[in-house]
């Protein structure tokens, strides 16, 4: 009898324990669940407003797409994830992420695009759409305009309320890092080496400032191991000759098809036509080289891995439910 009672008591305890955790787990799942039609009822014009604003901005300033893609990476790769914290301005009491050295080269056009979209959305559906959902969707739409692959952007992100410049250090890749350090930045955030190489294929579009490559092209450039094609490095030296006087001087990341999202970036690397030291590193490092070779041969496969990796990036550490907020202005917390 006693044994039965103990059993039934413990099974009751077990049951309530199970139910309790089940509720918590379900809450977490439902709270953290992003959906494709999140704004269907609350802001039916969401997709259309983004699409229109993105199209007119990209036609007006064709550098916007690459700029926004890099802005998105620099937001999502930090431990606070895709929370639009990179858009917040510094205050007299706080230096924000966007004022960290690595973010100073993020072009104004990408910030301007988000302001334009947010302004249009606030007029149609006030206090409804997060800046982080705007950034994720605009990035995908711009990639498609350049010829890149489609992927679904899940929605329902909430915006972060903090942005601290010093928290950026160590979480974003720099061309001066070793390939091992760069790979580890991505694997720490849950990406495989193949996904990291695919994402780096983003350098098929956009620019790099001459200051990012000056030490590589003016020192050791033609020495063995630099990775640069000798004629290419002469071209880069000419293009960047005046960079000290004119710090805005930049070069295309993909000299063959600079404005098209394709796999030519990977075809450039074996020929020594990569621009950044880290681009050459992808081909010289044995852990990344096989992926470069595969993507160079097969654009469909590159697009497939790139699209799923972008979707993964867009879901990193997103805040949902009651966490974070829907910012009224993307550059300020409410
Ligand atoms: C693998 C490590 C990476 C390193 C070391 C790196 C570094 C850089 C640097 C130094 C620039 C030049 C910025 C400037 O001078 O304005 C740049 C540009 C760019 N990066 Fe990366 N990057 C890496 C990976 C990625 C990834 C994974 C993405 C996106 C998924 C990305 C997207 C871009 C884009 C689109 C540009 C052009 C920006 C523009 O035209 O304004 N990069 N990157």
Residues 147 and 211 in one domain: no
Find the 83 Cα to ligand 1 centroid distance in Å.
20
User: How many independent structural domains does the chain possess?
Assistant: 2
Assign residue 146 the CATH number of its domain.
Answer: 1.10.520.10
Closest Cα to atom 13 of ligand 1: 208
Residues 140 and 205 in one domain: no
Domain that includes residue 294, residue range: 179-309
Does 7 count as an annotated binding residue?
no
Closest Cα to atom 9 of ligand 1: 208
Find the 267 Cα to ligand 1 centroid distance in Å.
18
Q: Which residue has the higher pLDDT, 14 or 209?
A: 209
In this model, does residue 28 exceed pLDDT 60?
Answer: no
pLDDT of residue 219: 78
- Percent of the chain scored above 70 by pLDDT? 89
Handedness of CA 188, 193, 198, 201 (dihedral sign): positive
Residues 192 and 86 in one domain: no
Does 257 count as an annotated binding residue?
yes
What Å distances lie between residue 119 and 66, 156, 232, 268, CA to CA?
22, 19, 44, 40
- Whether residue 192 lies inside any domain: the answer is yes
Does 235 count as an annotated binding residue?
no
Residues 75 and 160 in one domain: yes
How confident is the model over 65-79, as pLDDT tens digits? 999 999 999 999 999
pLDDT of residue 222: 54
Residues 122 and 204 in one domain: no
Average pLDDT in the chain: 91
Catalytic site includes residue 74: yes
Residues 154 and 52 in one domain: yes
Does 97 count as an annotated binding residue?
yes
Closest ligand 1 atom to residue 207 Cα is 40
In this model, does residue 11 exceed pLDDT 70?
Answer: no
Residues 150 and 184 in one domain: no
- Whether residue 324 lies inside any domain: the answer is no
- Whether residue 331 lies inside any domain: the answer is no
- Whether residue 130 lies inside any domain: the answer is yes
Find the 139 Cα to ligand 1 centroid distance in Å.
14
Does 83 count as an annotated binding residue?
yes
pLDDT of residue 225: 59
Closest Cα to atom 1 of ligand 1: 200
- Whether residue 23 lies inside any domain: the answer is no
Closest Cα to atom 40 of ligand 1: 206
Please, which pLDDT band fits residue 25 given cuts at 50, 70 and 90? Answer: very low
How confident is the model over 147-172, as pLDDT tens digits? 999 999 999 999 999 999 999 999 99
pLDDT of residue 226: 74
Find the 25 Cα to ligand 1 centroid distance in Å.
38
How confident is the model over 181-197, as pLDDT tens digits? 999 999 999 999 999 99
Assign residue 266 the CATH number of its domain.
Answer: 1.10.420.10
How confident is the model over 94-128, as pLDDT tens digits? 999 999 999 999 999 999 999 999 999 999 999 99
- Whether residue 18 lies inside any domain: the answer is no
- Percent of the chain scored above 90 by pLDDT? 86
Closest Cα to atom 11 of ligand 1: 208
Which residues does ligand 1 sit against, CB inside 6 Å? 63, 66-67, 69-70, 73, 105, 107, 173-175, 182, 199-200, 202-203, 205-209, 212, 253, 276, 278
pLDDT of residue 227: 87
Find the 203 Cα to ligand 1 centroid distance in Å.
6
């Amino acid at each position: 009898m006693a044994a039965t009672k103990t059993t039934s008591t413990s099974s009751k305890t077990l049951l309530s324990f199970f139910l309790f955790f089940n509720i918590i787990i379900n809450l977490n799942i439902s709270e953290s669940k992003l959906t494709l039609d999140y704004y269907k009822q609350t802001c039916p014009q969401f997709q259309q407003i983004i699409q229109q604003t993105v199209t007119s901005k990209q036609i007006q300033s064709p550098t916007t797409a690459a700029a926004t893609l890099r802005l998105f990476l620099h937001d999502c790769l930090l431990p606070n994830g895709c929370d639009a914290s990179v858009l917040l301005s510094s205050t007299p009491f706080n230096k924000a992420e966007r004022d960290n050295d690595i973010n100073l080269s993020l072009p104004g056009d990408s910030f301007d695009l988000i302001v334009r979209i947010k302004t249009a959305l606030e007029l149609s559906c006030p206090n409804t759409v997060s800046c982080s959902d705007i950034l994720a969707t605009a990035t995908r739409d711009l990639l498609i305009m350049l010829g890149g692959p489609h992927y679904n952007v899940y929605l329902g992100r909430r915006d972060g309320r903090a942005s601290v410049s010093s928290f950026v250090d160590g979480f974003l890749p720099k061309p001066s890092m070793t390939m091992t350090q760069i790979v580890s930045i991505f694997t720490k955030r849950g990406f495989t080496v193949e996904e990291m190489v695919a994402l780096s294929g983003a350098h098929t579009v956009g620019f790099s400032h001459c200051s990012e490559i000056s030490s590589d092209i003016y020192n050791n450039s033609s020495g063995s191991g630099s990775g640069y094609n000798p004629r290419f490095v002469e071209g880069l030296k000419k293009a960047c000759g005046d960079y000290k006087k004119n710090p805005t001087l930049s070069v295309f990341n993909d000299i063959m098809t600079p404005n098209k999202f394709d796999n030519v970036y990977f075809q450039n690397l074996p020929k020594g036509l990569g621009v950044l030291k880290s681009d050459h590193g992808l081909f010289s490092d044995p852990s990344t080289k096989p992926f470069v070779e595969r993507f160079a041969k097969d654009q469909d496969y590159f697009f497939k891995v790139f699209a799923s990796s972008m979707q993964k990036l867009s879901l990193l550490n997103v805040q949902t439910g009651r966490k974070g907020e829907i910012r009224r202005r993307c550059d300020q917390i409410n």
